Chains A and B, each alone.
Chain A
């Protein structure tokens, strides 16, 4: 029994050393010069082609919008899976938070005050990141995550279950539908009113806000489901 353990240990160490050598070789080996056709294609003329000043936004909302659709689908499937798993727990409903009274004795006064001051600014920066996603770093996913963080800090201060998760779920599915529809109509079928910078920018802002709202609702569903339906 101990011998097999030794052999497995030796194999593990060998694998680790081999992997380290491969990584170091690839990292330090500058002999090979590779052309950058994709880099040139994506960065040469993206402002005129897509209307975005941020090349990352140009890639994920125009050149490679197909990937974005599947990312959105992945988030929605994981949200559905979280809901499904917490439904499998038969006693989940009884753990719901039912006290109406604010339970403040466990929470620190400093945290409550500071979160109260910071809260509107966090929401503002989330909206800013979403709407300026095609100009500055950021975008729908990042802004949605910041908005979800704001909602979660609200849980720290005010642990109350007054959100209607079913409505939020329905909103998320509708948003996914519109996230699929918008690029299919605008980019794939080229049903654009006019191929100008303005229409491209409107498309970018619309897509970023749709993605941001969807990520926001998805992450908050996961968090609230987890907090109020799982465990105690």
Chain B
């Protein structure tokens, strides 16, 4: 891959990334969340077309215009959330799109024979006629690998393949990978687990901010240095300074649990405090804050605000109680993209703009609504003509500011920011940081979920690190801590 670039509105996901892969090699692709790993993989898999750059495989330039073309070129991508049709059997999934037919009829017996042979190479026993949704994760993964083998893939890309596997299954997978490389297949392996990288990678390529920053033999790259390469910059100046004045406890969470994702989480946030929830993707941070906000129901646990236990059965209850959540996924959870910015802004604030004398949820005072929004638009520097545009037409940074504006208007006491600066350019980031500081200065309790370690270190008064649904560590003095400290708590 040469000079691959991809721009999304608001961000440069990839800027001129080069990547080379030798036959039978295992290349670990490393980088922080948002460094551009998934975009790079999608380009390779034909799911995303790059703005610039070219891809050569075995001396031939490949167009990679579609997933089908990528498959034909010998590239198979196994995404974290597999690409299997849940209702179809393993056999049908393996041959989806390349059914073995004669005269239009599927030759089941031949498919079955081939499928058995392919699955045997993965070393996992998979029943052939059971709908895939009933298979275990490891079995589904085996089906994905068999799918890749069925098209004679020369390059197999695996995205976080071990994220949901048991240790035994991981060992089995490593054996399969070793076997594949012996057959001359090259593997690109994406993972956050440094132990695994050391165990199987021949070479490590590090991405940061959409650029390839290093490519080294795995053996020559100590863990410490790898983390530094991933994190890279020192960004202290990005974070506006503020005086810290922490008061009484406001939000208290005790014994919050739900399934495997959130196990017995307890913490408190005091007035004027910014508490960061750090950890890897899938550690349970988002799940935890969703429970506090009532987006999901906890199986156990108590949430208290200012000493009062809260009964929260829905986000509506939480908002009434004074808790708001800025979701990590603006497009699907934060905004109604087809509706105007103004309507989005007013959505949680119906009672603010209802005309006096009308029953709750009645007549909207549109002038008051517009005036209120204009105030935020100016303070947050949202484009002035944005109010009547569909929210979907705004850039990521502006969308995030609209989400901010709507929650600021709701005048919540507890503000939960889930990945507040994801996909936002640096300028807008600093504005949002400043705003968080202002809110803290007003005595609000702020919870920030973030995967960007510099942001966590720069903004938080206290850092809670989660791993596997539990809080595994607490850092009371972020100023004295390093990113490696957080990572070591998060990776285990």
Are these two chains actual partners, yes or no? no
Q: List B residues at the A interface (Cβ < 8 Å).
A: none
